[in-house]
């Protein structure tokens, strides 16, 4: 599988094991922790990352978020997933 290819609706993605995704009470925000630091994410990014569980494919994630936000967020979700993949936050499940 080509790791540089765009994320497709059939790709099953998960948080990269190098990162730890959790709620940080002191920051009142979700964060991605990694050995070199921390990335604070907004509410929408957290909603997407919560669904990167290695069980859903990206098409299912997009569908669930469209239902949650009652609007078409497909383009934004795919763009976020592609950026997250490029940054190494998520990976395709093999």
Q: List, for residues 32-60, the tens digit of each pLDDT value.
A: 999 999 999 999 999 999 999 999 999 99
Strands 12-15 vs 53-57: parallel, antiparallel or unpaired? antiparallel
Gap between the Cα atoms of 61 and 55, Å rounded: 10
Find the CATH number of the domain harbouring 67.
3.90.930.60
State the pLDDT confidence band at 5, using cuts at 50, 70 and 90.
Answer: low
Domain count, the chain: 1
In a domain, 44, yes or no: yes
Q: List, for residues 12-22, the tens digit of each pLDDT value.
A: 999 999 999 99
pTM of the model: 0.88
In a domain, 17, yes or no: yes
In a domain, 3, yes or no: no
In a domain, 7, yes or no: no
What residues make up the domain containing 40?
12-92
């Amino acid at each position: 599988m080509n790791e540089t290819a765009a994320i497709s609706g059939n790709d099953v993605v998960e948080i990269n094991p190098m990162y730890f995704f959790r709620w940080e009470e002191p920051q009142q925000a979700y964060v991605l922790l990694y050995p070199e630091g921390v990335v604070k994410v907004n509410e929408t990014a957290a909603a997407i990352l919560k669904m990167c569980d290695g069980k859903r494919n990206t098409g299912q994630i997009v569908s669930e978020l469209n239902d949650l936000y009652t609007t078409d967020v497909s383009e934004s979700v795919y763009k976020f997933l592609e950026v997250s993949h490029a940054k190494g936050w998520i990976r395709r499940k093999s």
